[in-house]
Amino acid sequence: MTERTDRGPSRFDIDRDQVGRDLVSLVLTVVELLRQLMERQAIRRVEQGDLSDEQVERIGETLMHLEVRMTELCDQHGLRMEDLNLDLGPLGSLLPRD
């Protein structure tokens, strides 16, 4: 954002395209975080033996489809999966590296 001097100090020019890209990036980051959390939970349940073979198969297919769809959405919006990770400073990265 840049300050406009002709309208006073309280007004800013907003790059609507950049705001849109940033919003898409934020939404995809949240979706990817949830996808990774679901994947880890599914792995735990499989390892515990809580799921039938059919359930394991359906979860595996669903997670693969979600990953493909996330890649497609990133491509559509000119993002890479790496772009979705947020640096949380001393806490590290938001999205764990696989």
Residues 16-34: pLDDT tens digits? Answer: 777 788 888 889 989 988 8
β-pair partners for 93: 87
Phi, psi (rounded to 5 degrees) for 16:
-60, -35
Q: The pTM is what?
A: 0.69
Residues 30-49: pLDDT tens digits? Answer: 998 888 888 899 999 999 99
> Which pLDDT band holds residue 73 (cuts at 50, 70, 90)?
very high
**Residue 17 confidence (pLDDT):** 78
Alpha-helical (H) ranges within 1-98 are 16-48, 53-76
Q: How many CB atoms lie within 10 A of CB 84?
A: 20
Q: Is the dihedral of CA 73, 77, 82, 86 positive or negative?
A: negative
**Residue 48 confidence (pLDDT):** 94
- Secondary structure element (H or E) that encloses residue 2, with its range: strand 2-3
